[in-house]
Structure 1
C-alpha cells in the first residue's frame, strides 16, 4: 500500500545542465497542491522579503476556471515546480526515471510558474491531469534565481521581478544594476526614512509613489551622479539611503502643503514627473553645494518656493504656460520640469557664490 507521506511519478528526464535535474511528468492538480506550495510574496514585521509569487488575480483565475469546467477543456501548458530537497530520482533507463517526493517533513516544492492555472484547477470538480515540469535546485538561492530568470521573459509585473532582485545572486549585468536600485528602494520604503510606506510595491500596495520611479532616479545617480562613488565607500548603501531620505525630508519641510495628505493625482510633487525632476535637483545640490543633511537640502530648496505649481495654478516652463496638472509622466514633460527646476537652483547657487564674503588673507610680514 503506497505511503500517504510520499508520491511517485514516472517522468522523462531532459539532459540540460549538469548542475540541475529537469523532469516532466503528468499529475492530478490535487496531487500537485499536495507536494507544492504557491508561496506568495510578502514581508515580515522586520521588512524582510519572503515568498515569490504575485498576489492572486481573482478575475484571471475565474476566467481559467470557467474554461476548465467545460468537458472538452485542455491545458497543455505545464506547471513549473522547483524542489531543493525531499526528492529521489531513480534512473530507469532510456531517459525515464521514477521521481519520489517525500512529504513527511512538510510540502517540499514551490510553484515557480503557473500559479493562476493551478489555483483555478483546485476550484474545478474534475479529475484533471496537468503536465508538471520539475526543477531540482541545489539550494533556495538557486531556486530564487531560476524564478527570476524564468519569469523575466513572461508578462509578470516588472515591479514584482524588481522587488525580488536583491535576494538573487549571479544575475545578468542589466539585472544586477537594477538589483542595487531595487534594494535601496525597498530600504527607503521599509526602514525608518522620509519615504517609509510611501513607495508602492507588491509588498506595500498602499504606497503612492511608483517603485520604478524611485528606482529610476537611483539608477541615474548610480550611473552618472553622486551615488556613483558614494556606493563604493564604507557602508555605501547606508549612506545612499540616508542621502535620499534626507533630501525628501527637506522636500516635505519646504513643500508641506504639496506633500502631506496628497496623492499623485492631487500633487505633481508626488507624481512620477515631479519625483524624477526632484531627483535631478537632489543631484545638483549634493554635487554643487555638498548637501548631505536635511538642513543642507532645505536651504538649497528654498529658492523654489513660490515658483512651483504642484497642486494648483500654472507652470511657466520654457515659454509655455501649462496647467498645474497637465504635466504627465512622459519623457518630454519630465525633461521640461527637470530643466525648469534645476535652472532655478543653479541660478540661486551662482547668486550665492557671487555675494559670499571674500576670505581675508593674512598680510605678509613687513607689509
Structure 2
C-alpha cells in the first residue's frame, strides 16, 4: 500500500506517555474522508471494532442545527491516528513568555492507494456523520488525535471517554474483556472478569450457554435468548460477595484470581440446571422464566446456597444434579404456579422483590430435597 496524496494541515504536537498527540482544525466534511468508524460486531475471528450503531435521531437533530445558519460547534472529535502520518515542526523563534506545551507545525495525513483511511474515530461518530451531511461542509471543527494503530488502545480510550456518559452498560461490558485491566478504573476492572466469563460461556461448545447469550454485537440473533447483563450481574455478585459461589477463587491478598476454576464450577452447575429442566432450557424468556433475567439471578442465588455443601462431595456435579432433579417437579418455569410465592410462572418479573422471593422459594425447595436425601 502506498500513499497517493496527502492532506496538509496546521497542527500543534505534544507528547503524553510518550505518545504523539495533535490538536488541529478540519473542515467538518473532511473528517469522514480521513477517518473510519469501526462498528462493534462479532465475527468468527472474534470481537471487531468498538463503536455503537449510529443514532439517526441524534444525527438528524445535529444536521438541522448545522443547517440553521451561523453556528458554534466547538466540541472536539477524538481520533486515533495512523503512524503513517508525519509532522514537520515550524521554524522560527518562540515568543517571550510562551508556555512550552507543544510544537506548532504541519501535519500530513496520507491517503492510501487502496482507499483505506489514516485515522479511526474514537469519540464523535455522530457529530462526524452530521458534519458530513450538513449543507456547509467547510465549518472548521476541532480535532484531537493520538497516534496509535492498536485496536486495544482505541477501545480503552473509547471506554474511558464515555465513562461519564450514558454509554450502554451492556456494550461496555462486552468490550471490557478486550481491554487491559491495568488501564481501567477500579469499578470497571471489577466488571471485566464476569464479562470475560460470559464471553467464554457463549463461545465454548461444551458450555450449556453456547450460542444462547445475547450481547450488543449479536442482539439481532433470535436464537440468543439470554440477556448478557443478567449473567454478568449474577457472576459479579458471586465473585465479589463474601458468600458468593465463586468468591473462594478471588484473590484477597494480591495473589492471582483464578477465572479458569470459576469457569469450571459455573459450567458444572449450569450443565446440571440444563439437565434438570430440559423443557425450559433454550426458550425465549416469554416462554420460560428460567431463561428470564429473574430466573438467572434466582438460580445464581441457589448456586451460592448449594456451593458449601457441594464442596463436601467428591463429585460436586452429582450433588448439584441430584438436588436440582429432586426440585424440578415443584418448579414452575414454563407453566403452573410457584406455591410459596403464589404467583403464576409468567407473573415473575425482574424486580428486586420477585427475584428475592423466587430465590427464597428455590432455596427452600433445595432444603426440602436435602432433608429427603438424608432421611
Decide: shared fold, TM above 0.5: yes
Deviation at 1:146? Answer: 1.5
Closer/same/farther in 2, CA of residues 301 and 125 from structure 1, 3 Å limit: same
Report the counterpart of residue 299 of structure 1 in structure 2: 322
Matched position secondary structure for 2:78: strand
User: C-alpha separation between the residues in 1 aligned to 2:10 and 2:371?
Assistant: 75
Closer/same/farther in 2, CA of residues 126 and 85 from structure 1, 3 Å limit: same
93, 107, 127: which one pairs with 2:137? 127
Question: Residue 264 in 1 paired to residue 285 in 2?
Answer: yes
Instruction: Report 1:18-167 matches (<5 A).
Output: 18-46=17-45, 48-92=46-90, 95=102, 96-104=104-112, 106-129=116-139, 130-137=141-148, 139-167=150-178
Question: Residue 202 in 1 paired to residue 224 in 2?
Answer: no
User: C-alpha separation between the residues in 2 aligned to 1:115 and 1:334?
Assistant: 39
Aligned residues of 1:185 and 1:214 also touching (Cα < 8 A): yes
Deviation at 1:115? Answer: 1.0
Aligned residues of 1:65 and 1:121 also touching (Cα < 8 A): yes
User: C-alpha separation between the residues in 2 aligned to 1:293 and 1:70?
Assistant: 67
Aligned residues of 1:84 and 1:143 also touching (Cα < 8 A): no
Unpaired runs of at least 5, structure 1: 356-367
TM-score, normalising length: structure 1: 0.83
Deviation at 1:36? Answer: 1.3
Deviation at 1:209? Answer: 1.8
Deviation at 1:226? Answer: 3.3
Unpaired runs of at least 5, structure 2: none
Question: Residue 180 in 1 paired to residue 193 in 2?
Answer: yes
User: C-alpha separation between the residues in 1 aligned to 2:25 and 2:306?
Assistant: 61
Matched position secondary structure for 1:304: helix
User: C-alpha separation between the residues in 2 aligned to 1:6 and 1:330?
Assistant: 57
Aligned residues of 2:155 and 2:179 also touching (Cα < 8 A): yes
Report the counterpart of residue 6 of structure 2 in structure 1: 6
Instruction: Report 1:223-302 matches (<5 A).
Output: 223=240, 224=242, 225-230=244-249, 236-260=258-282, 262-290=283-311, 295-302=318-325
User: C-alpha separation between the residues in 2 aligned to 1:199 and 1:305?
Assistant: 23
Report the counterpart of residue 229 of structure 2 in structure 1: 212
Report the counterpart of residue 368 of structure 2 in structure 1: 347
Aligned residues of 1:82 and 1:137 also touching (Cα < 8 A): yes
Q: Give the CA RMSD over aligned residues.
A: 2.9
